[in-house]
Amino acid sequence: MEPKLNYQNNYQFKEARFQLVDRLRQRGIKDERILSAMNKIPRELFVDPAFVSQAYEDIALPIDCNQTISQPYTVAFMTQALNLKEGSKVLEIGTGSGYQATLLYLMGMRVYTIERIYELYLKANRIFQQLGVNVLTRWGDGSLGWKEYAPYDGIIVTAAAPKVPEPLLEQLAINGRLVIPVGDRSYQAMYIITKVGDNQFQEEQEHFFKFVPLIGEYGWQNGG
């Protein structure tokens, strides 16, 4: 059965949502599954209430705990780079607002998501429950991955790492993809890494992005 949200979309935002999706299509997002799902997600629920009027602008916005909800283009770009089929198992590092996990859920993926900030973990779970989003969540260090449910067809990291965490490479399935921003704390390249064999990887780099830092054993240290 096709995943759906337990939510009556507010018609106030219907046209804005449609226009956002159209802009993403013009910017090169070709996967219509992504665009269709984004046209169904009430992004206004995921942003700080002070920024609801900007919910459908193609910009990153603040959420709690000095974190951000990513720019819609970035969300769509990273999701497209995963190149997942319906039913694929995907691990998200950095639940944040919960928007990315909701998108993957609506696309028919089996979603596992980790958040290190307890307040965000609780808030995202409340939104998932409200919307009827069936994803498995965990509070902890995302740089370690989630070995219990590995291997994954895709791993998406929504925070910037100084280098690619080894546990995430290990937890990829053969032909699985890891999409992760890597660089310094100012700007990062988007790495798209495909596991082509045991300890064999193909790597691409795309554009430059800016993310909050990935904090953890295989990421940045607090204050480091």
Catalytic residue set: 70
The string of DSSP letters for 12-80 reads GGHHHHHHHHHHHHHTT---HHHHHHHTTS-GGGTS-GGGGGGTTSSS-EE-STT-EEPPHHHHHHHHH
**SS3 for 89?**
strand
Positive or negative, the CA dihedral 210, 216, 220, 224 is positive
Nearest-Å Rg of the Cα atoms of the chain is 16
